[in-house]
Amino acid sequence: MNTVVVCLPDIPGLRHLGDLPSNVEVLLAPRDGPPPDLARVELAVPTRWLRRPLLESVQSLGRLQVIQTLSAGVDWLAGRVSERITVCNARGVYDVPLAEWVVGAILAVQRGFASARDAQGRGAWIELMPRELAGQRVVILGFGSIGSTVAARLDPFGVEIVGVARSARDGVAGMDELDELLPTAQILVDLLPLTRETAGFLDARRLGLLPDGALVVNAGRGRTVDTDALVAELGDGRLWAALDVTDPEPLPAGHPLWALPNALVTPHIAGDSPAAEERAIRLAGDQIRRFAAGEPLINQVPRYLLRDRLR
């Protein structure tokens, strides 16, 4: 058997990788210190500290065939890898925690938890008239694996769910129908991936189509929303927002979003959990075993998501 060289992050979570075939040679990339010799690598599993050295040398890595990300999003690779390199993501790994965050964020705003917490910090007993979630129309923008999981967890609350995807399919609207749906959406959940088409997609015009009091929930990518337009709507008190991702990110101190009482902001943690990290590492191990055995890889990313460089 030919030796297969793979590069993995040097993290404690590798204990979940599982046994690898005898023909797999593992190179570890430490968090602190120089990366290993990437010229020999055929399959790379990059983490944040390996992204830069990988991108800086990816065009010259003649043996690299596969990049298996530990994230669902791959926008950082867009326009930077040739078609000879297969990119696979961690689709499905983060569905559960992301869906839980979306439901939790909606409830926190709709049922007044966020406002009450703010008042608690001031030591103030305030009067609230929170809205029920039941009966609300929830439009889920980017209705894929995560979107369907969100829908399943929202369904018991008695909401009306409308899924919107890149292309229409049975029971799911297409993006060309969104303008007709926005005026009816009490809650808009943004799960869009970041592409050239979706950058700034929720702009002033589309946000302006939402009804007064609507809640914008973003657990996808910060750059899919025009931040200035959103701040203007929030500043007028017309909309509410629950944001796990922002543009810019990290959100700098002094940014208007921090001070707006109708904005709930969390630091890009919606998909994070020990169980999700374990699933991501197990997926990487499964992919390495498939690659070493010459079997087809799962979660291959469509080329249109990798076509245009975004930064």
Q: Which residues are catalytic?
A: 221, 249, 268
**Residue carrying structure tokens 């944040």:** 48
> How many helices and strands in the chain, by DSSP H and E?
9, 12
Helices 95-110, 113-122: axis angle to 10 degrees equals 70
Query: Quick one: the chain helix, strand, coil %, rounded to 5?
Result: 40, 15, 45
What tokens were used for 41?
């690598």
Q: Are 23 and 2 in contact (CB under 8 A)?
A: yes
What tokens were used for 265?
């902001």
Under DSSP, is residue 184 helix (H, G, I), strand (E, B) or coil? helix
Q: Return all residues near 152 (Cβ < 8 A) that are at least 6 apart.
A: 99
CA angle 126, 129, 130 (to 5 degrees): 110
Neighbours of 147 (CB within 10 A): 25
Beta-strand relationship, 172-174 and 160-165 = parallel
